[in-house]
Structure 1
Amino acid sequence: MTTSHSLTAERLTLGYGDRVVVESLDLTVPPGRVTVIVGANACGKSTLLRSLSRLLAPREGRVVLDGRQVHRMPAKELARTLGLLPQSPVAPEGITVLDLVCRGRHPHQGLFSRWNGRDDAAVAAALEATQTTDLADRAVDELSGGQRQRVWIAMALAQETDLLLLDEPTTFLDASHQIEVLDLLTDLNRTRGTTIVMVLHDLNLAARYADHLIALADGRLHACGTPAEVLTEDNVRTVFGLDSRIIEDPVSGRPLMLPIGRHHVRPQ
């Protein structure tokens, strides 16, 4: 069960070359919930996600999954528990949609474990959930940006991990498909108990779909908690440098951020 897994970052410092991007960060991912990471561009959101999935080794501190440092775990063992959909992934040239989604089952294959009916079922369910079944025989590099994004999400779903990390999964998607993807991930969380951690750039979508929000500012944890606790006018001003008004979303009952522009202030 996903609720038996714990994922934490302890005094985590991350960077590239001489540049520090995330510094001395502590956080705990609530198991069995949907967590969304928000923040301004270049604040460290994607860098944090890369380190949580062990793609980026920390300069200081550690990422711990179920009491073990992820950067010391065998890759295949980690991949059976934790999956990652990075931002703008690249598919091998000429690969078909079906072949790419099937690669999500790789962590479940081994010396004595061959492809079986469960693998077929997982791939079929992932294709159906992302509405990509009719694309199965198409080459990935022939698809539109939105179609490709849904295929990558299908591959991540086929992996059937208890924890799933996604870096801006709504990239390239129109408004309708953004909602479909976020509804799909919410259903995955509600029905399977999958712990979801994702980066979103749209604050209002983040507030609508998150159980737990993490707001980063200049590589540090500025605020975390429920959307109502995190999405405040003061926090929006500090994290995004933006004046706003927070009202209740009439659809979800969650906080809704209305940005204030110089030319959209009602005259007195």
Structure 2
Amino acid sequence: MTRDRELSVEHLSVGYHERLVIEALDLAIPPGAITAIVGANACGKSTLLRSMSRLLSPRAGQVLLDGKAVHRMPAKQLARELGLLPQAPIAPEGITVSDLVGRGRHPHQRILSRWSTADDEAVADALTVTDTFELADRPVDELSGGQRQRVWIAMALAQRTDVLLLDEPTTFLDVSHQVEVLDLLTDLNAERGTTIVMVLHDLNLAARYADHLIALADGQLHAAGTPAEVLTPEMVRTVFGLNSDVITDPVSGQPLMLPKGRHHSLV
């Protein structure tokens, strides 16, 4: 089991060049839970996740892990405690699946240390749970988009961090594999206590799988809380500019958003 880690954002402002995307944001991530970040395109979801993993330096404020600013932590130490799957990762040309997943173990390697049994077990486990074990010897660039996405998730899992950040982990996946990946992350959270923070576009999947929702609008926190507290017609209208009804999902018991239009259909 992992231990609960306190991840929070204090008065964070961050952006690109002259453009400020997030300004004076404060929020706390519930330890040991699954948090989904939702919001319209260009609202700052990925920017927030990149800042939390210290890929982006803050203009002001800070991101804290157990009270320590992540931007001041040694890179290797942070990589042993917090893992990131970015939105569009790029694999080195010709690298095989097993070699790529094995890179998730690099933060645990020390100078002159040898590959260990624990490393083998972590890689094998990650390949198995993502259903990519049979692809281990294949070059990553020969895989389909869905297969590649599962391999990248396997690399993140092999890192075995207490906190895992994922930017749209269901990208390129069909509906069946989207559910499989989210079920996998739910099992990881339940079995290991891993704190998971993920950006999702699908509001209904976010409400179904997350314990905690964060809704962003124009770089600001619009709402945070349980899916029942956050996923409301008012939030959908304000954040997404969409009129909707919200009912109870008969399967999960979580809120289910139905957009208003000529037909009521899931998104």
User: TM-score, structure 2 length as denominator?
Assistant: 0.97
Residues 29 and 35, structure 1, Cα contact 8 Å, conserved in 2: yes
Q: Unpaired segments of 5 or more residues in structure 1?
A: none
Deviation at 1:264, TM superposition (A): 3.1
Residues 146 and 172, structure 2, Cα contact 8 Å, conserved in 1: yes
Residues 22 and 48, structure 2, Cα contact 8 Å, conserved in 1: yes
Indicate whether 1:163 and 2:163 are aligned.
yes
Indicate whether 1:125 and 2:125 are aligned.
yes
- 2:136 partner letter: A
Deviation at 1:115, TM superposition (A): 1.1
Deviation at 1:5, TM superposition (A): 1.4
Match of 2:205 in 1: 205
Write the mapping of 1:1-268 to structure 2, written as runs, cut at 5 A: 2-111=2-111, 113-261=113-261, 263-264=262-263
Deviation at 1:2, TM superposition (A): 4.0
Residues 8 and 64, structure 1, Cα contact 8 Å, conserved in 2: yes
- Distance in 1 between residues matched to 2:198 and 2:137, nearest whole Å: 29
Deviation at 1:218, TM superposition (A): 0.5
- 2:103 partner letter: R
Alignment root-mean-square deviation, CA: 1.0
- Distance in 2 between residues matched to 1:4 and 1:36, nearest whole Å: 17
- 1:254 partner letter: Q
- Distance in 2 between residues matched to 1:210 and 1:143, nearest whole Å: 29
String of CA shifts for 1:164-205, please: whole Å, max 9, x gaps.
Answer: 000000000000000000000000000000000000000000
String of CA shifts for 1:213-248, please: whole Å, max 9, x gaps.
Answer: 000001000000000000000011000000000000
String of CA shifts for 1:105-164, please: whole Å, max 9, x gaps.
Answer: 000001253210000000000000000000000000000000000000000000000000
Residues 12 and 62, structure 1, Cα contact 8 Å, conserved in 2: yes
Residues 2 and 31, structure 1, Cα contact 8 Å, conserved in 2: no
- Distance in 1 between residues matched to 2:219 and 2:170, nearest whole Å: 23
Residues 228 and 254, structure 1, Cα contact 8 Å, conserved in 2: yes
- Distance in 2 between residues matched to 1:184 and 1:231, nearest whole Å: 23
Secondary structure at the residue paired with 2:165? strand
Secondary structure at the residue paired with 2:138? coil
Residues 94 and 139, structure 1, Cα contact 8 Å, conserved in 2: yes
- Distance in 2 between residues matched to 1:138 and 1:4, nearest whole Å: 36
Deviation at 1:4, TM superposition (A): 3.5
Residues 32 and 193, structure 2, Cα contact 8 Å, conserved in 1: yes
- Distance in 2 between residues matched to 1:264 and 1:176, nearest whole Å: 24
Equivalenced residue count is: 264
Secondary structure at the residue paired with 2:239? helix
- Distance in 2 between residues matched to 1:75 and 1:244, nearest whole Å: 44
User: TM-score, structure 1 length as denominator?
Assistant: 0.97
Moved more, 107-116 or 136-145: 107-116
- 2:165 partner letter: L
- Distance in 2 between residues matched to 1:113 and 1:91, nearest whole Å: 25
Secondary structure at the residue paired with 1:98? helix
- 2:172 partner letter: F
- Distance in 1 between residues matched to 2:23 and 2:185, nearest whole Å: 30
